[in-house]
Homo-oligomer: A and B are copies of this chain.
Amino acid sequence: MSVSVKDVAAAAAVSVGTVSNVLNRPDKVAPATVARVQAAIDRLGFVRNDAARQLRAGRSRSIGLVVLDSANPFFAEVARGAEERAAREGMAVLLGNSDQTPSRERAYLELFREQRVNGVLLTPTDLEDGAVRRLAESGIPLVIVDGELPGGGVPSVAVDDVQGGMLAVAHLLEQGRRRIAFIGGPRSIRQVADRLEGARRALAGVPEATLEVIELDALTVLQGRDAGEEIARRSPAERPDAVFCANDLLAVGVLQGTAILGEVRVPGDLALIGYDDIDFAQSAVVPLSSVRQPARAIGAAAVELLLEALDSEGAAIRHVRFQPELVVRASTGR
């Protein structure tokens, strides 16, 4: 079927060992031989069989990436960053979506182990669960993306979500808002919990301010819209005067939801701020204030950490932590 080193060796009148050397350590082979072998490779259209290479050499050339939802623009950017960085090393990225479901996460991790990936970048569905720790100890290099394992010990790249939550709510308070609502997904998602915690801390300095927490099932536009409608239907006295959403998708949804009844205006009646600063935040009906995360850089950094872990077996474990950045737009204007 396909051309193997043996064929190439025959065509170039050398041994298979030499072909392998041309492929992997050209400097150890006489230039003339290299040229001859290369010519044979080109002529026959030889393509290295990575399975065999991997089997013998141990190492593979792919890394696994498991995110909560790759259709979410934030994760799409993270994936993009990882893919670009990996490509520079000649590595391929295997993509998996856990949809926040531990069973799907497990299925992907298992599949990736079978594929003998070099390592896994994981946005865990549940950091507290022992599964992540066990995985880390099972020998497969692991980097936590957008989170940090409580006990340390596993390299990770994260954004300080508590800080991000503080930034957002501090900004709302600064604008004179006092009746804050936090709209988020399930608190079991660490990012959500941390952003809420940040909100709480920002409120600590302002005793007369209140915080209402609205918990949803998922961080989607649709869920946000429902929450927005619910708020719009309330009497003005019971309505918050500012909403901090756990991500931009929710915020966009809230914007739609409040717009439907047409009574609550953003930012007049309701200041609104999201999280992630996805591309569309600035293009929303009312340009959306948000907290920016360097998504692409996060993906790239994760691959970087994995490469480090691969190079220096058991060396220092690094944690990269990006700082979030407040982006003010019309939705929190006066």
Contacts and interface: CB of A to CB of B under 8 A. Distances in A.
A111 B48 CA distance: 10
Nearest to A255: B283
A20 interface: no
B252 A283 contact: yes
A287 B279 CA distance: 16
Contacts of A71: 73, 76-77, 79-80
A48 to B, nearest CB: 5
Interface string A172-201: 000000000000000000000000000000
Contacts of A87: 96, 104, 107-108
A51 to B, nearest CB: 4
Given A94-B94, A96-B92, A111-B92, A116 B51 contact: yes
Contact of A51 (B60, B112, B252): B60
Interface centre among A48, A50, A61, by most B CB within 10 Å?
A: A50
B62 A279 contact: no
Interface in A97-126: 97, 104, 107-108, 110-116
Nearest to A99: B84
A284 B285 contact: yes
A282 interface: yes
A114 B62 contact: no
A104 B79 CA distance: 17
A69 B283 CA distance: 20
Interface of A: 1-2, 45, 47-52, 54-55, 60-62, 64, 69-71, 73, 76-77, 79-80, 83-84, 87, 90, 92-97, 104, 107-108, 110-116, 138-139, 221, 249, 252-253, 255-256, 279-280, 282-287
29 contacts: A1-B139, A49-B55, A50-B115, A52-B55, A55-B55, A61-B114, A61-B115, A62-B94, A70-B76, A70-B80, A70-B83, A71-B77, A73-B73, A73-B76, A79-B95, A83-B95, A83-B96, A87-B104, A92-B94, A92-B95, A92-B112, A92-B115, A94-B95, A221-B279, A249-B279, A256-B283, A280-B284, A283-B285, A285-B285
